[in-house]
Amino acid sequence: MFYSTDTYPRANILKMKKSILTLLLVGWASLVLAQHNPYISRVYDFRPAPGQFINTLPPWTEGDTEEDMISKANDCLVDNNQEMICLGGFGGYVVFGFDHPIVNVRGEYDMQIDGNAFYSESNPSSTTALGGSSEPGIVMVSSDDNGNGLPDDEWYELAGSDYYKAETVHNYKITYYRTPADHVATPHPTNRMLNDTSFVRWTANDTITGYIAKNVYHRQNYYPNWIEEDSITFCGTKLANNAVDESGKGTYYVLYCFDWGYADNHPNTTDMSKFNIDWAVDSEGNHVDLDQIDFVKVYTAVNQYAGWLGETSTEILNAYDLHPDEEPTAVKNIENREQRTENKSQTSNLNPQILYDLSGRRVAATEAAHGVYIRKTPGRTTKILIK
């Protein structure tokens, strides 16, 4: 309905506009304050290293592409589905995100990642060390600094208990090779459970080479079938081996836990499966102050083979925000992000006129829906209403 100023007084028009604005603000605030889904909302990438559970967790079927396998990993993890995926040997990874930024609440754990670690009933070599099945994964985080909704910004490692130890190797690089079609198996001479000790060959940048052996329990191909290339390379932080053959005969292995800061390292019922964004460090090991993160990457952090147990491989079951209703201070987020961007590059292509929603996430002006946004211009921060 249209009202002219002759039939509808200007004061009433202004009052009506004010009421509409109030309703919009209240509605937007309700959206902002509404409970977020604490669980994974999307898997962006899934690229496991070879291992005995690859092509089965999740299952590969003939014709599946990399996109299909990412979709299957997505189905396993989103919305608390709790269907396990395996990352294979060292370096194999998964990248996922949530439907909102995870806020860094200072002094508190911010996120939990569940795996299938467990403690054994007894740990013969020590009365204090915890162990059983610990297959630690490095956790990395990233914030969506360029605002495109994709995990293509800088990654930061959450420095766990062993990050600065001498036996930890940074920038470790490993390459796995597809098993040739004419490969001849080399069974273990005494261990009947290992029917091919040279199944998947690997080389590393420390000049050491080796194999992932094939066992009688898992007879499928261990190299990811959907990877088109005949080799696959990973790089990251490698922790020291944690498997001990307590029997001395290759029959009883204990995989001892690292103190804290790694996925699939301690049982999910313990605080050691929780993570603090304050642990973030850059590629040089320097602390990074992140007010929130948008993406998480987990990769297998050891390169070891424990006899009949096979390679050590991180498994992921679930992940969730420990305080999903916590909201960051949007203006502070913007200032911090702009400063970090300026420090990274003098040729930043970020548009100074870009908008931010009230959680601090970048939104292109052409994509902004109805609601309240924040606009950052040189020397000035203002709130605007898009109708």
Q: Please say if the pLDDT value at position 10 is more than 50.
A: no
What tokens appear for 41 in the block?
């909302």
pTM over 0.75: yes
| Burial category of 14 from C-beta neighbours within 10 Å (exposed 0-12, middle 13-18, buried 19 and up) | exposed
pLDDT of residue 295: 98
Rounded to whole angstroms, how far apart are CA atoms 211 and 375? 55
Nearest to 255 by CA among 234, 263, 246: 246
Rounded to whole angstroms, how far apart are CA atoms 270 and 280? 21
Mean of the pLDDT values across residues 238-245? 96
3-state secondary structure at position 337: helix
Rounded to whole angstroms, how far apart are CA atoms 163 and 159? 5
Domain boundaries, the chain: 42-321, 329-387
H or E element that contains 75: helix 66-77
What tokens appear for 44 in the block?
């962006």
Rounded to whole angstroms, how far apart are CA atoms 377 and 46? 38
H or E element that contains 334: helix 330-344
Band (pLDDT 50/70/90 cuts) for residue 35 is: confident
pLDDT of residue 125: 65
3-state secondary structure at position 348: coil
Band (pLDDT 50/70/90 cuts) for residue 23 is: very low
Mean of the pLDDT values across residues 62-66? 98
